[in-house]
Amino acid sequence: VASGNLLAALGPGLAHCRELWNLDLSDNRLENLDGLESFLALGTLNLSHNRLIFREVRKLAALNILEAYFEGNPELTRERNPHQYRKKVLLSVPNLWVLDGDYISLNQKRHSIAGWKLTAERDYPSEDASLVTESTKRRSRRPSSARHG
**Is residue 88 a part of any domain in this protein?**
yes
**Is residue 85 a part of any domain in this protein?**
yes
**Is residue 4 a part of any domain in this protein?**
no
Round to whole Å and give the CA distance between 47 and 43.
13
Domain that includes residue 76, residue range: 12-148
What CATH number is associated with residue 49?
Answer: 3.80.10.10
Round to whole Å and give the CA distance between 66 and 64.
7
- Confirm if 27 and 4 have CB atoms less than 8 A apart: yes
**Is residue 51 a part of any domain in this protein?**
yes
**Is residue 3 a part of any domain in this protein?**
no
* Closest of 29, 62, 33, 76 to residue 134, by C-alpha: 62
**Is residue 130 a part of any domain in this protein?**
yes
**Is residue 99 a part of any domain in this protein?**
yes
- Does residue 120 carry a pLDDT above 50? yes
Amino acid at 148: H
Provide the number of structural domains found in the chain: 1
The more confident residue out of 147 and 52 is: 52
**Is residue 7 a part of any domain in this protein?**
no
> pLDDT value at position 59?
94
Amino acid at 20: L
> pLDDT value at position 68?
98
User: pLDDT digits over 10-55, tens only?
Assistant: 888 887 888 899 999 999 999 999 999 889 999 999 999 999 999 9
> pLDDT value at position 8?
85
The more confident residue out of 102 and 123 is: 102
